[in-house]
Chains A and B, each alone.
Chain A
Amino acid sequence: MHFKVGIAALLGIASALALPVPSALAYTAFVTNEKDNSVSVIDTEKLEVIKTFSVGQRPRGVILSNDGKWLIICTSDDNIIQVYDTKTYELIKTLPSGPDPELLILHPSGNPLYVANEDDNLVTVVDIQSGKIIGDIPVGVEPEGMGMSPDGKVLVNTSETTNMAHFIDTTTHKTFDNVLVDSRPRVAIFNPAGTQLWVSSEIGGTVTVLNPADRKILKKISFEIPGVTKEAIQPVGVRITPDGKTAFVALGPANRVAVIDTETFEVKKYLLVGQRVWQLALTPDGKKLLTTNGASNDVSVIDVEALKVVKSIRTGRYPWGVVVAPF
């Protein structure tokens, strides 16, 4: 579909008058709307959409450059990466990728960019300054999740149909280990200390926590929610608080986010959010968690300390990815 303007623009007009006001507490969140080909910009203090702007087709994975100036988006149906200015929302440039880019991650040094291309079993390595592809890493079928160790030495990619976490050496671009996890792994993320790797399995309904040092499984976490069928529990997005103590896992059509103690791996609480919750992002101070609820077209905001859902914010259609800028 080619709804380049349509509803996205209409939504944009409503909030176009407001501009982000810099403040010590307010951050800016960017949410990609998969169905609307747009990005909703949210003020995390006012908890409202302050701008909606059109981007390429089927925007999904989204990250920021290290200096926060660039918003880097996988526009999957354009088979390309788009780079927008986080202040003016202007398209700065495009970066190459393989077909159907979905998720991406930057090296901690700020460059290069690693992109999972769902359609060709490759992770593409892109120099974001020159815009050149500097490497391709063969992985399993339907690469998706991308996790980077805090020291930047290890990239982990998950492949949805091969059901593995592929450990990649970022200096040689070679896989050095492959660990089988449960069906359809979607997201991989290291804890801040780099001592745990969390991998969510959407169809398997579990989260596997690995020790990155020896790639042994520390714990396989499963979920049980009264009144929700086992099949509806589909873990996707994972985020760990800056202090490393708490992990949040989005459970897809179970419409809940699980709160997990990273030491005991116990599920402490399930927070009811919008429908088909997929991706998550924490504000830089770790105080708020934003969830994209694809089927209900909104973002839920969770107060991390109180573990309460404090607000739902209407976005474009099928919000997919979310990232929060430190300004």
Chain B
Amino acid sequence: MAIRKASRGGVPISDFKHRALVAALAGALAFLTPAYAEEPAPATPPPAAAAAAAKQDAEAPKVAMVPIILARELRDEPLPLSLLDLPPKDLGIAGAKLAITDNNTTGRFMNQEFKLEPIEESDPAKLIQDVVQKVDEGAHFVIVDATPDTLLKLADALKGKEALVINYGAPDDSLREENCRPQIVHTAPTRTMLADALAQYLVWKKWNRWLLVLGPTEQDKLYAEALRRAAKRFGAKIVEERVFTYDSGNRRSDGGFEQVQQQIPTFTQNAPDYDVLVVADEGNLFGEYLPYRTWDARPVAGTAGLVPQSWHPAIELWGGTQFQNRFKRLADRTMRPIDYNAWLAVRMVGEAASRTKSGDYKQLIPYIKGPNFDVAGFKGVGLSLRNWNGQVRQPILVTTPKMLVTVSPQQGFLHQVSELDTLGVDKPETKCKAYTQ
């Protein structure tokens, strides 16, 4: 199996959706401002220019600078099966950059300026050391994409240093539960939120009998556990579990499909009656082989097929079109869920700065964690923090590769506080003790 650094594997993929859109627009609409298809002329002065302009103006008030550290642990991970899924180099970072420009457009009017300082490092100890140094130099917001282990070590290294850590990468429930830390909040949805979102839809469809297929990794086991929990919670039944242990091989070779075509029907043969195959394969190493190849004609859901996630590059609801367009102009690719999670992390800081009219972390951090915080995130409702574990509550998109199928929570799943809390671990169940509210 090809093992390469995710960061190096990221040759920016040619994005057919983007190109198709641009081509369609450019072709059909000759009068369209060329700025869209070409390099866009910035409609608003870039933050640096705005700041410079502000400095020239003698009467301009002082601009409050808010640095935001982005800490990314580079990991050796096998590449996903599909060419379309290869990770771009700026995965996550591009989302954070977009939020910086969004924050700075507002900041222009508020005399606030936000700056992103990315640190990418494969050695966790060095990553933590670099972040601690930046925090000691006066940065107070750290958004993180790292393994759970590194994230916890980082949070512990920052203990008592008045920094807010925002986890935009790790979906692990344990980080919000038994291992929760009061200095961490999370924009990445948890595995239980994703599984519950999917389960609500499957149950609504009355596809109640699930065949669970899981991969061999620890992450796959955790995803499978979230699916088991969701099945129990919403009245579905897992009729059988199968572990996919075959080495799926190098993702690319001349041929390959002939054998997969034989292998998957055999693997899914002789299952008890089921309505839907649910798959737990977070690394996308075999799940994409399942749709259309199962022994029985059954749909596939989970990490492949019908996928619950925080964002989708084709969603246009709630002003999403403009948001997608801004991202494409900035990154020259479509937005992935982790880009969205990073965008949300940086926007939370920006939102707090606008609302408190301050760039001072002493005001911003309590505001973000306080009862009045919410932020608009192109999901049709305000997004707020669960005050018992620091998780951002949010609607989850249930999607096929090209389209949105539905948005969970589904209608009819009621909750006494917020229907969004029907997704994931709810307050009465939390194991988090560090949040005391």
Which residues of A are at the interface with B, using a C-beta cutoff of 8 A? 78-80, 96, 98-100, 118-122, 138, 140-142, 160-164, 166, 178, 180, 183-184, 203-205, 229-232, 234, 253
Assembly CA distance A80 to B30 (angstroms):
11
Once the chains are docked, how many angstroms separate the CA of A28 from the CA of B362?
Answer: 56
A122 to chain B, nearest CB (A): 5
Which residues of A lie under 8 Å from residue B29 when comparing CB positions?
A: 78-80
Q: Is B321 an interface residue (CB 8 A)?
A: yes
- Select which of B355, B382, B418 is within 8 A of A205 by beta carbon: B382
Chain A residue numbers with a CB within 8 Å of B375 are 183
Chain B minimum-CB-distance residue to A144: B319
Partner-A contacts on B (CB < 8 A): 25, 29, 31-33, 35-36, 43-45, 102, 105-106, 109-110, 319, 321-323, 325-326, 351, 354-355, 357, 374-376, 380-382, 418-420
Other than the known A80-B31, A163-B106, what 4 A-B pairs have Cβ atoms closer than 8 Å? A100-B321, A118-B319, A229-B418, A231-B420
- Contact A100:B382 (CB < 8 A) given known A162-B106, A162-B109, A231-B419: no
Q: Is the CB of B106 within 8 A of A164?
A: yes
Q: Specify which chain B residues have a CB less than 8 angstroms from the CB of A162 in the assembled complex.
A: 102, 105-106, 109
For B351, the chain A residues whose CB sits under 8 A away are: 163, 183
Complex CA distance for A123 and B102, rounded to whole angstroms: 17
Known: A79-B31, A161-B102, A203-B382. A122 touches B43 (CB 8 A): yes
CA distance A120 to B329 in the complex (A): 11
Q: A121-B44, A121-B105 are in contact. Are A163 and B319 (CB under 8 A)?
A: no
| Cross-chain pairs A/B with CB under 8 angstroms, 14 sampled | A79-B29, A79-B32, A80-B31, A99-B33, A119-B321, A119-B322, A121-B43, A140-B105, A140-B109, A142-B322, A161-B102, A161-B376, A163-B106, A231-B420
Assembly CA distance A185 to B32 (angstroms): 27
Residue of B nearest to A202 (CB): B376
Which B residues are in CB contact (< 8 Å) with A205?
382
Q: Which of A80, A120, A234 contacts B43 (CB 8 A)?
A: A120
Closest Cβ of chain A: how far from B251's Cβ, in Å? Answer: 35
Within 8 Å by CB of B376, from A98, A118, A183, lies: A183
Q: Are B105 and A99 in contact (CB under 8 A)?
A: no
Interface of A is mostly: loop
| Contact between A100 and B31, CB atoms less than 8 A apart | no
Given known pairs A99-B33, A161-B376, A204-B382, the reply for A138 and B44 (CB within 8 Å) is yes
CA distance A178 to B357 in the complex (A): 13
Contacts of B325 in A (CB 8 A): 119
Interchain CB contact under 8 A, B109 and A163: no
Which residue of chain B has the shortest Cβ distance to A136 in the bound complex? B43
Chain A residues with CB under 8 Å of B25's CB are: 79
Contacts of A119 in B (CB 8 A): 36, 321-322, 325-326
Find the A residue at minimum CB distance from B354.
A180
Of the candidates B321, B322, B326, the one having the most CB atoms from chain A within 10 angstroms of its own CB is B322
With both chains docked as a complex, state the minimum distance between the C-beta of B347 and any C-beta of chain A, in angstroms.
9
8 Å CB contact of A229 from B43, B357, B419: B419
Residues of B within 8 Å of A178, CB to CB, are 109
Residue in B closest to A229 when the chains form the complex, CB atoms? B419
- Expressed in whole angstroms, the minimum distance between the Cβ of B269 and any Cβ of chain A is 41
Inter-subunit contact A203/B374 (CB<8 Å): yes
Chain A residue at smallest Cβ distance from B28: A78
The smallest C-beta distance from B96 to any residue of chain A, in angstroms, reads: 16
Cβ–Cβ < 8 Å partners of B321 in chain A: 100, 118-119
> Which of B33, B102, B109, B382 sits near A98, CB closer than 8 Å?
B33
- Contacts A121-B105, A140-B109, A178-B109 given: A203-B376 contact, CB under 8 Å? yes
Q: Give the CA-CA distance A253 to B419 in the complex, in Å.
A: 14
The smallest beta-carbon distance between A94 and chain B, in angstroms, is 8
B105 touches A118 (CB 8 A): no
User: Which chain B residue shows the least CB distance to A122?
Assistant: B43
The 8 closest A-B pairs by CB, nearest first: A178-B109, A203-B376, A231-B381, A183-B376, A162-B106, A121-B43, A120-B43, A203-B382
Q: Which residues of A contact B44 (CB under 8 A)?
A: 121, 138
Q: Tell me which residues across on chain B come within 8 A of A140, comparing CB atoms.
A: 105-106, 109
Chain B nearest CB: distance from A169 CB in Å?
16
* Also in contact, A180 and B355, with CB within 8 A (given A79-B31, A138-B44, A231-B419): yes
| Chain B residues within an 8 Å CB radius of A78 | 29
Alpha-carbon distance A161/B99, docked complex (angstroms) = 10
Complex interface: chain A residues within 8 A of B381 (CB) = 203, 231-232, 234
Separation of A178 and B326 alpha carbons in the complex (Å): 23
* CB of A102 to closest CB in B, whole Å: 9
Find B322's partner among A118, A163, A166, A230 (CB 8 Å cutoff): A118
The minimal Cβ–Cβ distance linking B192 to chain A, given in whole angstroms, is: 20
Shortest Cβ distance from B383 into A: residue: A203
Complex CA–CA separation, A161 to B354 (angstroms): 11
- Residues in B neighbouring A166, C-beta threshold 8 A: 109
**Chain A residues, Cβ within 8 Å of B33:** 79, 98-99, 120
Name the A residues within 8 Å of B32 (CB-CB): 79, 99
A296 to chain B, nearest CB (A): 15
Within the assembled complex, what's the spacing in Å between the Cα atoms of A184 and B105?
15
Smallest Cβ-Cβ distance to A201: which chain B residue: B376
Residue of A nearest to B36 (CB): A99
Q: How far is the CA of A119 from the CA of B102 in the complex (A)?
A: 13
Whole-angstrom distance between the Cβ of B364 and the nearest chain A Cβ? 15
Q: How far apart sit A184 and B351, CA to CA, in the bound complex (Å)?
A: 12
Once the chains are docked, how many angstroms separate the CA of A203 from the CA of B355?
14
B382 to chain A, nearest CB (A): 5
Once bound together, how far apart are the Cα atoms of A318 and B418, in whole Å? Answer: 27
Residues of B close to A183: CB separation below 8 A = 351, 374-376, 382
CB-based nearest A residue for B325: A119
B43 touches A138 (CB 8 A): yes
Point out the residues of chain A lying under 8 angstroms from B102, CB to CB.
141, 161-162
- Residues in A with CB closer than 8 Å to B357 are 180
Within the assembled complex, what's the spacing in Å between the Cα atoms of A253 and B381?
Answer: 10
Could you tell me the distance between the alpha carbons of A205 and B419 in the complex, rounded to whole angstroms? 16
Instruction: For B322, list chain A residues within 8 Å (CB).
Output: 100, 118-119, 142
Bound-state CA distance A205–B45 (Å) is: 31
Q: Within the assembled complex, what's the spacing in Å between the Cα atoms of A100 and B381?
A: 23
Closest to B347 in A: A161
Q: Which of A78, A100, A138, A162 counts the most B-chain CB atoms under 10 A from its CB?
A: A162
Q: Select one of B31, B35, B319, B354 contacting A142, CB under 8 A.
A: B319
